[in-house]
Amino acid sequence: MIQQYPTALTIAGSDSGGGAGLQADLKTMQACQTFSTNVIVGITAQNTLGVQGQYPLPKQVVTRQFASILADFHIQAVKTGALFDAEHVQMVADELQWSRLPNLTVDPVMIAKGGAHLLTPAGIRKIKSQLLPQATIVTPNLPEAELLAEQQIISEADRLSAAKKIQQLGAKNVIIKGGHGSGPLVKDYVRLANGDDFWLTAPRVKTKRTHGTGDTLSASITAFLAQGLGISTAIQRAHAYLEMIIEKPLVLGHGHGPLNHGGWSAHDEI
């Protein structure tokens, strides 16, 4: 039987609040017309107010999920999200290495919007040494880019030099997201493997309903890569999708609320 629908894999943590992590990835992929399988690396007890508990899963539970997925599906693109610690980053890097799955998006999730750390310092070092060399694209926010590039990022020139340093760690393409910046515009900086670069700019929406924005952008890029789009087009379409739904949030929870992933239709122009 020939698989007839674009299919991806997300390797991530579960968010009981439903707005970020694995749950954001699955909803995003569906909205962007790609089917996603999933490897759950750990479970968080979480809501819009913060992360109340983190429970990384035993190695056997993680590797068994990979085996089940790889035995059945033809995976066209992959993304990683919260991976918790060095041991789990290594597990995932090993599975990706031997399975040789194409189109890897690494979202180097380190700190949740509410301030909780979702990755240990040793986990950050492992992402740099084991995952970035395999990455088609890495999608850090500003604090994550500072940690990966080991430099402060204040000016636009700092973003350019940080993106170059992150490429030197092995990631082919880099997007440094600008949500944590200030000013009336949110500016994401993209540097492609061939050295071309560009900015994606959008009006800063005045909202605290930004839980899962990073997961949503990286899952959307993954969905479009699974469909065979080129990296530059996939990034631009993902950005357009995010900017469309961030303007129509669901009013839920008491903290950083979730996005409305289904808040666009396939007929919308993105």
Q: Give the interface with ligand ADP as residue ranges (CB under 6 A).
A: 141, 177-180, 186, 188, 202, 204-205, 207, 210, 213-214, 217, 239, 242-243, 246
How many helices and strands, by DSSP H and E, does the chain display? 8, 9
User: With respect to ligand ADP, which residue has the nearer C-beta, 65 or 236?
Assistant: 236
- Is residue 81 within 8 Å of 13, Cβ to Cβ? yes
Q: Where are the alpha helices (DSSP H) in 43-198?
A: 59-70, 86-99, 121-126, 142-149, 156-168
Q: Is residue 237 a contact point for ligand MP5 (CB under 6 A)? A: no
Query: Residue 153 corresponds to which tokens in the numbers above?
Result: 């990022």
Count other C-beta atoms under 10 Å from residue 121's C-beta: 12
CB 170 to ligand MP5: min, Å? 23
Which residue minimizes CB distance to ligand MP5? 21
Taking CB under 6 A as the rule, does residue 211 contact ligand MP5?
yes
Site for ligand MP5 in 118-147 (CB under 6 A): 118
Instruction: Take residue 246 and report the two structure tokens written for it.
Output: 């961030």
Q: Which residues of 105-117 are buried (b: 16+ CB within 10 A; e: fewer)?
A: bbbbbbebbeeee
Considering only the stretches 72-80, 110-118, 233-241, 257-265, report the one whose residues sit in contact with ligand MP5 under the rule CB under 6 A: 110-118
Pairing of strands 50-56, 7-15: unpaired
Q: Which two tokens stand for residue 16?
A: 């009981």
Q: Nearer to ligand ADP by C-beta: 75 or 149?
A: 149
Using the Cα atoms of residue 48, residue 50, residue 52 and residue 58 in order, give the sign of their dihedral: positive
Residue 93 engages ligand MP5 in binding (rule: CB under 6 A):
no
Is there binding between residue 44 and ligand MP5 (CB under 6 A)?
yes
Q: Which residues contact 11 (CB under 8 A, 6 or more apart)?
A: 38, 39, 41, 78, 79, 80, 81, 83, 92
Q: Which does 44 bind (CB under 5 to 8 A by kind): ligand ADP, ligand MP5, none?
A: ligand MP5
Residues in the chain: 270
The interface region with ligand MP5, picked from 95-103, 108-116, 119-127, 236-244 by CB under 6 A, is 108-116
Among 8, 11, 20, 229, binds ligand MP5 (CB under 6 A): 20
Task: Supply the minimum distance, in Å, between the C-beta of residue 1 and ligand MP5.
Answer: 33
Query: Residue 15, interface with ligand MP5 (CB under 6 A)?
Result: yes
**What are the residues binding ligand MP5 (CB under 6 A)?**
13, 15, 20-21, 44, 46, 81-82, 109, 112-113, 118, 211-215
